[in-house]
């Protein structure tokens, strides 16, 4: 910089931060933005850009954008949107987990029904207490992957046995 000459926005060297925010006409999905653009967007007062970020987080709560937002929030000044974005991350992930637990519960119920066994018998044959098995059916707890495989094998075995029996 030349002594005595003030720097104006036109003469100031670009540090990259000014260009980090995608222009308003940018229609690229938020998932393709660099972290610097996410940071700049969170520092801006543009509600429509924040909404685009929230939509991307809801689409993929553990995806690239969510991880970028986490990274920015770890090092961010506490600007107004920080708490809101942290809440979006938390709630979106909790919602995803609840949906996944419900999906696993439906699958466990299907395996149980296909086997033709009662709940207690099924639980006993997979080696878990009936109370634990009930939590899997309710979706409040998800079984380990190895237990899911065991349930699938048990269900398959009893479904085959039922299919081979002559009709009563």
If asked whether residues 158 and 102 sit together in one domain, one would say: yes
Write the DSSP symbol of residue 14.
P
Q: Are 1 and 7 in contact (CB under 8 A)?
A: yes
One domain, residues 69 and 109: no
- Do 58 and 105 lie in one domain? The reply is no
Residue length of the chain: 168
Quickly tell me which residue has 């972290």 as its tokens.
35
Q: Total domain count for the chain?
A: 2
- Residue 154 domain-assigned (yes or no): yes
Q: What is the pLDDT of residue 10?
A: 40
CATH number, domain at 154?
1.10.260
Of 31, 49, 77, which residue constitutes the final position of a domain? 77
**Average pLDDT for residues 72-87, to the nearest whole number?**
84
> Per the domain annotation, does 130 fall within a domain?
yes
pLDDT band at 26 (very low <50, low <70, confident <90, very high): low
- The answer to whether 115 touches 143, Cβ cutoff 8 Å, is no
Return the residue matching tokens 């029904």.
113
pTM: 0.71
Most confidently predicted of 22-26, 45-49, 113-117:
113-117
State the Cα angle at 149 between 161 and 122, rounded to 5°: 50
**Of 150, 162, 63, nearest to 111 (Cα)?**
150
With respect to residue 116, please indicate whether it lies within any of the assigned structural domains.
yes
| 44 within 8 A of 21, measured Cβ to Cβ | yes
| Enclosing domain of residue 114 | 97-162
Average pLDDT over residues 23-46: 82
Q: Please provide the distance, in angstroms rounded to a whole number, between the alpha carbons at the two ends of the chain.
A: 95
């Amino acid at each position: 910089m030349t002594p005595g000459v003030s720097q104006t926005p036109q003469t100031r060297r670009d540090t990259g931060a000014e260009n980090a925010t995608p222009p308003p006409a940018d229609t690229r999905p938020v998932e393709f933005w660099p972290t610097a653009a996410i940071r700049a967007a969170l520092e801006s007062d543009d509600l429509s850009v924040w909404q685009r970020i929230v939509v991307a987080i809801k689409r993929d709560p553990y995806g690239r954008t969510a991880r970028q937002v986490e990274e920015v929030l770890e090092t961010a000044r506490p600007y107004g949107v920080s708490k809101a974005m942290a809440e979006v991350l938390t709630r979106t992930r909790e919602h995803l987990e609840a949906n996944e637990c419900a999906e696993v519960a439906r699958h466990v119920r299907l395996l149980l029904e296909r086997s033709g066994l009662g709940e207690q018998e099924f639980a006993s044959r997979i080696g878990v207490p009936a109370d634990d098995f009930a939590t899997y059916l309710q979706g409040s707890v998800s079984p380990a992957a190895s237990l899911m495989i065991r349930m699938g094998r048990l269900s398959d075995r009893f479904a085959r046995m039922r299919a081979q029996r002559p009709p009563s």
